[in-house]
A = this chain, B = another copy of it.
Amino acid sequence: MRGLDDLKYDANGLIPAIIQDADTGDVLMMAYMNKTSLAESIRTGQTHFWSRSRQKYWKKGETSGHTQEIQEIFIDCDADTVLIRARQTGAACHEGYKSCFFRKYEPDSAEWNVCAERLVNPDDVYGRK
């Protein structure tokens, strides 16, 4: 398999991209790329995505400075999911946590409880809304 044309994009031209911390192995986030944003990620060495809610390209860290430096890119057996190992500057999550997966399921209470510490205050990074 060669290049980006053989990957399986969905009906909207998107492919999910899992971002993993290259140093700790923590899963940081999942977001969507299209062929253009994946090509731009490869070209620049920094992750670029397609925002489904805003219908626009975004470079991770364009506002916050919390960029992701790509170390390795993998594709899965079905060629429909990308895995990127990257070095994360600051917080991957817009809520200020290192990883977006900061809530853990507690079977006894059926609650999703915060299980990580905030690295940064989102108001400081993105401005108060």
Residues of A within 8 A of B (CB): 1-3, 16, 18, 20, 24-27, 29-30, 42, 72-78, 81, 83, 93-95, 97, 100-105, 107, 109-112, 115
Contact = CB atoms under 8 A, between A and B. Distances in A.
A1 B74 contact: no
Q: Kindly list the 10 A-B residue pairs having the minimum CB-CB distance in the complex, ordered from nearest.
A: A25-B25, A74-B101, A76-B100, A73-B105, A1-B112, A83-B101, A30-B81, A77-B100, A3-B110, A77-B95
Nearest to A81: B30
27 contacts: A1-B112, A2-B109, A2-B110, A2-B111, A16-B30, A18-B27, A18-B30, A24-B25, A27-B27, A27-B83, A29-B76, A30-B76, A30-B81, A42-B105, A72-B104, A72-B105, A75-B101, A75-B103, A75-B105, A76-B93, A76-B101, A76-B103, A77-B93, A77-B94, A77-B97, A77-B100, A77-B102
A2 B112 contact: yes
Contacts of A102: 74, 77
A58 to B, nearest CB: 14
Contact of A16 (B16, B24, B83, B97): B16
Given A18-B30, A83-B27, A73 B111 contact: no
